[in-house]
């Protein structure tokens, strides 16, 4: 009884909702466009709903699973295969470039039906590891998928949209209703593919500055730029008005109306202002 309670708690803590729809599993694996020479890194393989179909198409699969009981289960089911290894660890502690290199590959395809409680951190980790990733097919909470793929002009557009779209070409694939999982989650999920682009859609001069400006603007997303960004120029409204005018942006707009290109133009205007002052 105690063991069962512990197991249920662990399952909840680790966001364990297992995919039980084989058609959806097949669609996810197909969307990953895995070739016979590819290394696949799977985040949270769980009971192996995606691992089996991935092994059928990949050269090699490395699963990263935090739950030791599920690692043992996977080893039992497929451990005899030389093309699968299961690492029992927290994905957030994994160094993807080192892992891919240690497997003897230059790049990997990433697949994961992500545990919802760490989705944000994992997405950040994946974006940082983009140099060793070809593409990622992820299943995430539907709202998160909307934010990742949102274009300017709507309530879903924000820092996450910009972070993802600056480094990848995201494509929403399909929705997965709660009944596709066991136990049934309270939320809807969506699958999406991120293609890691070698050429970013916008050439950002200084990513640190770019994201400082974007974050400052979205910290109070209901406020106009003239109010949120003025802190970056010591409150001088005339300077901000000049920067915005140079960027072709109306300072009365809210951040959700501003494209990545326009944010970059604002950054360049701010850099020119700092240079003039120096």
Whole-number minimum distance, CB 24 to ligand SAM, in Å?
A: 9
Provide Rg for the chain, Cα atoms: 22
**191 counts as binding ligand SAM under rule CB under 6 A:** no
Whole-number minimum distance, CB 158 to ligand SAM, in Å?
A: 24
Distances in Å between the Cα of 200 and the Cα atoms of 169, 203, 227, 265 are 9, 6, 29, 15
142-149 and 159-167 helices, crossing angle to 10°: 60
- Residue with Cβ nearer ligand SAM (46 or 158): 46
* Separation CA 123–CA 92 (nearest Å): 10
**The one among 8, 9, 90, 151 contacting ligand SAM by CB under 6 A:** 90
Site mask, ligand SAM, residues 98-137, x = CB under 6 A?
A: ---------------x-x--x-------------------
CA-angle at 207, arms to 204 and 208, nearest 5° = 150
Distance, C-alpha 140 to centroid of its chain = 9
Residue 233 and residue 239 in contact, taking contact as beta carbons nearer than 8 Å: yes
DSSP code for 184? P
Span near ligand SAM by CB under 6 A; candidates 17-25, 101-109, 161-169, 198-206: 17-25
> Which pair of structure tokens corresponds to residue 35?
């070739």
Site mask, ligand SAM, residues 132-171, x = CB under 6 A?
A: ----------------------------------------
- Residue with Cβ nearer ligand SAM (90 or 250): 90
What is the maximal distance between C-alpha atoms in the chain?
Answer: 71
The closest residue (CB) to ligand SAM is 44
Whole-number minimum distance, CB 82 to ligand SAM, in Å?
A: 21
Q: Which residues bind ligand SAM (CB under 6 A)?
A: 14-19, 44-47, 49-50, 64-67, 70, 90-92, 113, 115, 118
């Amino acid at each position: 009884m105690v063991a069962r309670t512990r197991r249920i708690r662990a399952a909840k803590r680790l966001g364990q909702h297992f995919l039980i729809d084989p058609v959806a599993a097949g669609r996810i694996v197909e969307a990953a466009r895995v070739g016979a020479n590819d290394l696949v890194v799977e985040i949270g393989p769980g009971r192996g709903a995606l691992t089996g179909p991935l092994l059928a198409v990949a050269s090699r699969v490395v699963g990263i699973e935090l739950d030791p009981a599920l690692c043992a289960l996977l080893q039992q089911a497929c451990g005899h295969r030389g093309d699968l290894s299961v690492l029992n660890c927290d994905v957030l502690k994994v160094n993807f470039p080192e892992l891919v290199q240690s497997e003897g590959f230059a790049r990997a395809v990433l697949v994961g039906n992500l545990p919802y409680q760490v989705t944000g951190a994992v997405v950040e980790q994946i974006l940082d590891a983009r140099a060793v990733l070809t593409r990622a097919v992820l299943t995430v909470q539907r709202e998160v998928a909307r934010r990742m793929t949102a274009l300017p002009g709507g309530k879903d557009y924000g820092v996450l949209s910009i972070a993802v779209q600056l480094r990848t070409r995201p494509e929403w694939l399909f929705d997965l209703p709660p009944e596709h999982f066991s136990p049934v989650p309270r939320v809807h999920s969506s699958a999406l593919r991120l293609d890691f682009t070698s050429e970013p859609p916008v050439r950002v001069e200084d990513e640190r500055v770019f994201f400082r400006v974007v974050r400052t603007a979205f910290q109070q997303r209901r406020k106009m730029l003239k109010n949120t960004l003025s802190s970056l120029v010591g409150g001088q409204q005339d300077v901000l008005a000049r920067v915005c005018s140079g960027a072709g942006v109306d300072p009365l707009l809210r951040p959700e109306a501003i494209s990545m290109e326009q944010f970059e133009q604002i950054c360049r205007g701010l850099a020119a202002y700092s240079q003039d002052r120096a």
